[in-house]
Structure formats: structure tokens, C-alpha cells
Amino acid sequence: MRTALVLLMCILSTLVVAQDAKFREDQLYFGIAYPYFASPPQGLIQNKLSYALSAGFVRDMPISKSRRLAIGLGLGWDMAQVFTNSRFQLVSGDISTTLLEERYTRNSLQMQSISIPLELRWRNASAQNHAFWRVHTGISLQLPLDFNAIFEGLDGSVNKVTLPHTGSLMRWNLYLGFNTWNISITHDLQPWATFTHFGEKQDIIFTKIGLIFFVF
């Protein structure tokens, strides 16, 4: 019995050492951010509290002997709801806006997408140090799932319009921080769609600033 216990302890010790020698970091994430129009047209104002959520998994693949430099490739989900004073509608198949003058309960753009991030990752971590500085940057391919304009009147009636989008788009991402608290900055490199605002064509491009948390 004693021999078996010693043998089991040796096996567990070997597994722990092997795992420590091949540690990976920051593979599950959850983020919350404030999205805003990167170049809002004149008169368009964001009101209420717009928000964006993200979650996913990134496979951490160290590329240096110290394992402090890595490549990350993953799969995630993003959503955002942006409240504005402009109603987005479809007119002859094109998106156009009108400024809302009447009172209403809710008016927003709502979007969801699948995210495929590719990152270059640095951290001053080790197998024994789980509180460390990190900087991740890279791009992600966004595959839109939904892109809607939602208007709710004071009488409770809801009008939901599915808007046409340009298809997949690229996004630049930057995450930096220490331990639990990390700042996230993302910017669309391509527009979600174009729309007409007072006779002028505009792009729907968002920048997001918020926090991102890495679980494992």
C-alpha cells in the first residue's frame, strides 16, 4: 500500500511539473465595453447607455522558450446595442436615417457576430506566477449574425427592421493590463454597412472601449 502511494505521488508530481513546463494563459475571456460611432455624422447623438458584450476561447500557443510570447487563435461571440436619436430604416433597399423628434421608449441598433481572433500575446508570466502584466494585440474576423434597428414607441409597439450589412469585416483589438483588470480597445477596420444621413453617405464603424477578463 505504501509503495503504491509513493508511486502515485511520483506520477502526480511528474504531471504537475510537465504541466508547469507547458503552461498556457488567458484562454477563456469575457468582456464588456462601451461602443460608439467612430465618425458620427452631424446631428446623430448616442443616448442612454450603449453597451457591448463578448465571450470566447483563444488557444494560447507559446512561441518563445520562456513561453512569455505567444500566438492566440480563437472563436468567440460579440454583441452590441447602440442607442441613438436617429431612426435607421430601409428605403428602397438602402439604409437611411431620420432624426427623432417625438418621444419614444427605445431606439437602437443591435448586432451580433461570430469572432475569430488572431493575436500576438506577451506576458511576464511563469508557471508559478498567476498575477502578471499582459499585452495582446491583433485582428479578428467578424462574421455578422444579426444586424437590426429596433424602435419602441410610448404605446409599447415595437418595430424591428433587419438591415443589410456588408458581410464579414476585420477588427483591430488591443488588450492590456495586470492580473484581473485589463483595458480593451477595439476598432472596426471595415464598415458594417453604409447609410444615408441628410443626403450624405456614411459608414457604420464602431470603436469600443471597456474591460476584458481572462478566466484561465
Query: Do the domain assignments include residue 38?
Result: yes
Query: Do the domain assignments include residue 58?
Result: yes
Which has the higher per-residue pLDDT, 154 or 18?
A: 154
Query: Do the domain assignments include residue 82?
Result: yes
Query: Do the domain assignments include residue 135?
Result: yes
Residue 205 has pLDDT above 60, yes or no: yes
What is the separation, in whole angstroms, between the first and last Cα of the chain?
36
Count of the separate structural domains present in the chain: 1
Range with the poorest average pLDDT among 76-80, 124-128, 133-137, 204-208: 124-128
pLDDT of residue 9: 44
pLDDT of residue 179: 87
Three-state SS for the chain is: CHHHHHHHHHHHHHHHHHHHHCCCCCCEEEEEEEEEECCCCCCCCECCCCEEEEEEEEEEEECCCCCCEEEEEEEEEEEEEEEECEEEEEECCEEEEEECCCCCCEEEEEEEEEEEEEEEEEECCCCCCCCCEEEEEEEEEEEEEEEEEEEECCCCCEEEEECCCCCCEEEEEEEEEECCEEEEEEEECCCCCEEEECCEEEECCEEEEEEEEECC
Query: Do the domain assignments include residue 16?
Result: no
Tell me: the pLDDT tens digits for 9-27? 443 343 333 334 577 777 8
Residue 197 has pLDDT above 80, yes or no: yes
Query: Do the domain assignments include residue 197?
Result: yes
pLDDT bin (cut points 50, 70, 90) of residue 2 is low
pLDDT of residue 20: 46
Tell me: the pLDDT tens digits for 89-142? 999 889 999 999 889 999 999 999 999 999 999 999 877 777 899 999 999 999
pLDDT of residue 7: 41
Residue 148 has pLDDT above 50, yes or no: yes
- Tell me the residue range of the domain where 152 lies: 24-214
Query: Do the domain assignments include residue 137?
Result: yes
| In contact, 82 and 108? CB cutoff 8 Å | yes
pLDDT of residue 101: 87
Query: Do the domain assignments include residue 91?
Result: yes
Average pLDDT, the chain: 88
